[in-house]
Chain A
């Protein structure tokens, strides 16, 4: 069965690109626009990987990571944070909250698939 990826980003452009790329690589993709929505998706759907933006309204990515790790249903699911902040600061934030890894924007489709395969082969 195809693995299911949840992409969390307030930018539709980004969600579209993630969806398109990962669908092409054989993943099922579900979307959420912010952390709050993501949690509600996770409440009803079981996913194998979460890819989340950091900067989002309502609930940011770091808080989302913390919430997922602190919850029960998806605490062991790999989470990748998307960052442009180059960011060691953001990466460190994400890691500290419990993220598995990160993807630096802008990314090529290849790079995305490569990173996703790394944590969720």
Chain B
């Protein structure tokens, strides 16, 4: 036999499993609760919620998280009544469920961090549940009061105070019913167990044995009279037959009459059933054991009365559950849990491997002059395999965005009810996968944007109807992959952005100069300006409207972009473009002077060497290059970063046309393209300070550091005064000022608000 409890190490390991499991269960719980609010829940939802709470309770009981057990127990009792169809769906119930879910989550967290939330934590909800249960059970007990006492007659954990270790002899008449064997009970084991208690004399009765021809091989026909002499109390003897009580006729009597009380203790101890219904309802129980032990006596009426209904329900729900089971559930079989630290370490080491591999490849190539076929072949193979390893490793960290999306329905419900608006939330592409870190960082911005959408976007039902729209607004949350990015859109069909109001406000706040002429897109961009509030009044829902700049900062931190499109009266669409992984980047290595830089491959459209006549200078400073009739702003990277010795004549260098998520194209002048390379991103911000125009750094094959350029930021960097001068006057006369696309705002105007990123082009 093992020890009476687990040792500390094992327990810690089980606890970790338990908390991991809790996290999944709680996420599922929240999702199901939300689905129930939305009334999109299937019949399985309630069962799943019940199971989640139940599992948490069971695990918590094993680890002695008393408070958690007690609360889960209460929660579970409510859910159980709901499963039995005893609770009518109402706002009140929905509210209690959501709050109970929250408290459960907090209690789990508190248990994990060994934090004490105070004895009364969650008591408010407990009281409400109790009240609700009392209402239900009040009704219930009227219906079933007759049966109340007839159940549980054989709970023999009765009072034991006058148990003495006196030797006693019991006469046991044990006559199994025919079906005993069908339940895989075995009289032989029982007799052996009795032998463990003391001395046993057995006498087998063949009375019931039929003729061989009429004998059912699986039926039990024998019966026994057993005489047990033991110093153990009757309870122990009875416990031996615990599992077969219903499968046999059993009579146990003490033959040595010195302890007369035993006789009266034997079967019907109704008077002594210690726990009553009150116990279940008193919130202050302190011991998990007590709670579990109390259950048989507390719920007899309610539960037993509903057994048939309950059983039918569960079995009826089972096939449905199979049909609606999500893919995630069915793949759970072949998955393992790995500590995130280990994965991160692996990611890091593989990153180093990639660098080391490319160093080696470059070095061998340099020494061989690239002539040794075998070495080249080996290098290529190696590079391919390393890349494959890296992809596999990155895939480990990928998770569906569902875990964030599933928190939103609840948010929508809360916020909209607070604001008396009607909002429907639709989600699409929940299974789209993205790096775990990204997912975690997504929650806050999305929460903020959805709040904003409900608060500022969606109008009140009256306004909407006045505008000829449906009273209920809709918000759509959408995720999909696009190249190495995940695109997440938050679309509402509300009032859209009022551009005039926005511009006025921006001017009054001094964010934009009074005479500034901004395009629609630029005006929309203003909502990302720091300290910009678009709300007419300060609300407690989305605060002072300072959020969008924070949202943008958060998204930028992820290497992503956020943009907004809006049609007044129709709605607004926020688009987030975020790289799938924060750790690696497909880059293009370019040379500018003596320096090497990395451009994100995803942003490169094409590159070309312009002819003289394709270049134009603009009056306000800055220059453009025409590409198949389209004018693109030209950025000289060597100017921005003061790189000496770079090619200054675009006709001698290369223009790399890049496109950012916001849609604007710019041409970047570089000396030459060196090659495509996957690079491991090292943060400059973390290790140094944020550098404008640079999103990070990487280590090249030769051990040198190359900066990774941030195209979006490059676009908003001031152009150096030393721009390209047209070589002949007739070239400048075809000034491209007639198209919107070439309308360029002088950079001084754009950058007078620090950190604001109004794009300088298009």
Interface residues, chain A, with chain B CB atoms under 8 Å away: 10-14, 16-17, 20-21, 24-25, 33, 35-37, 55-60, 62-63, 69, 75-79, 84-89, 92-93, 95, 98-102, 104-110, 113-114, 118-119, 121
Residue B131 lies at the interface, judged by CB distance under 8 Å to chain A: no
Partner of A10, one of B55, B185, B295: B55
What is the distance, in angstroms, from B49's C-beta to the closest C-beta of chain A?
11
What is the distance, in angstroms, from B688's C-beta to the closest C-beta of chain A?
43
By the criterion CB–CB under 8 Å, are B295 and A87 in contact? Answer: yes
Nearest CB to that of A120 among chain B residues? Answer: B189
Q: In whole angstroms, what is the CA distance A87 to B294 when docked?
A: 10
By the criterion CB–CB under 8 Å, are A58 and B5 in contact? Answer: no
Interface residues of B in 258-316 (CB under 8 A from A): 288, 292-296, 298-300, 303-304, 306-307, 310-311, 314-315
Question: What residues on B are CB-neighbors of A12 within 8 Å?
Answer: 17, 20-21, 337
By the criterion CB–CB under 8 Å, are B318 and A63 in contact? Answer: yes
Given A88-B296, A89-B300, 4 more A-B residue pairs with CB atoms under 8 Å apart are A36-B322, A89-B304, A108-B5, A118-B193
By the criterion CB–CB under 8 Å, are B184 and A119 in contact? Answer: yes
Question: What residues on B are CB-neighbors of A87 within 8 Å?
Answer: 295-296, 299, 303
Given the contacts A76-B184, A106-B58, A63 and B315 also touching, CB distance less than 8 Å: yes
Interface residues, chain B, with chain A CB atoms under 8 Å away: 1-6, 10, 13-14, 17-18, 20-21, 44, 47-48, 50-51, 54-55, 57-59, 61-62, 151-152, 155, 181-186, 189, 192-193, 242-243, 246, 288, 292-296, 298-300, 303-304, 306-307, 310-311, 314-315, 318, 321-322, 325, 329, 332-333, 337
Partner of A21, one of B2, B21, B44: B2
By the criterion CB–CB under 8 Å, are B303 and A100 in contact? Answer: no
Q: In whole angstroms, what is the CA distance A3 to B51 when docked?
A: 30
Given the contacts A92-B304, A108-B4, A11 and B184 also touching, CB distance less than 8 Å: no
Question: What residues on B are CB-neighbors of A113 within 8 Å?
Answer: 1-2
By the criterion CB–CB under 8 Å, are B322 and A86 in contact? Answer: no
Given the contacts A17-B14, A62-B311, A63-B315, A84 and B329 also touching, CB distance less than 8 Å: no
By the criterion CB–CB under 8 Å, are A79 and B296 in contact? Answer: no
Partner of A98, one of B183, B292, B311, B322: B183
Give the number of residue pairs across the A-B interface with Cβ within 8 Å. 164
What is the distance, in angstroms, from A26's C-beta to the closest C-beta of chain B?
10
Partner of B318, one of A17, A60, A105: A60
Given the contacts A11-B59, A100-B184, A105-B61, A86 and B295 also touching, CB distance less than 8 Å: yes
Question: What residues on B are CB-neighbors of A114 within 8 Å?
Answer: 1
Q: Which 6 pairs show the lowest CB-CB distances between chains A and B?
A: A86-B295, A101-B243, A106-B61, A89-B303, A78-B184, A13-B18
Question: What residues on B are CB-neighbors of A93 within 8 Å?
Answer: 307, 310-311
Q: In whole angstroms, what is the CA distance A37 to B334 when docked?
A: 12
Nearest CB to that of B239 among chain A residues? Answer: A118
By the criterion CB–CB under 8 Å, are B307 and A101 in contact? Answer: no
By the criterion CB–CB under 8 Å, are B295 and A119 in contact? Answer: no
Given the contacts A37-B333, A119-B189, A100 and B51 also touching, CB distance less than 8 Å: no
Nearest CB to that of B180 among chain A residues? Answer: A100
By the criterion CB–CB under 8 Å, are B10 and A20 in contact? Answer: yes
By the criterion CB–CB under 8 Å, are A84 and B332 in contact? Answer: no
Question: What residues on B are CB-neighbors of A60 within 8 Å?
Answer: 314-315, 318
Partner of B62, one of A17, A36, A98: A17
Partner of A86, one of B189, B299, B333, B337: B299
Question: What residues on B are CB-neighbors of A109 within 8 Å?
Answer: 2-6
By the criterion CB–CB under 8 Å, are B2 and A110 in contact? Answer: yes
Nearest CB to that of A76 among chain B residues? Answer: B184
What is the distance, in angstroms, from B357's C-beta to the closest C-beta of chain A?
38
By the criterion CB–CB under 8 Å, are B58 and A25 in contact? Answer: no
Question: What residues on B are CB-neighbors of A21 within 8 Å?
Answer: 2
Of the listed residues B54, B184, B318, the one surrounded by the most CB atoms of chain A closer than 10 A to its CB is: B184
Question: What residues on A are CB-neighbors of B54 within 8 Å?
Answer: 55, 84
What is the distance, in angstroms, from B414's C-beta to the closest C-beta of chain A?
28
Question: What residues on A are CB-neighbors of B18 within 8 Å?
Answer: 13
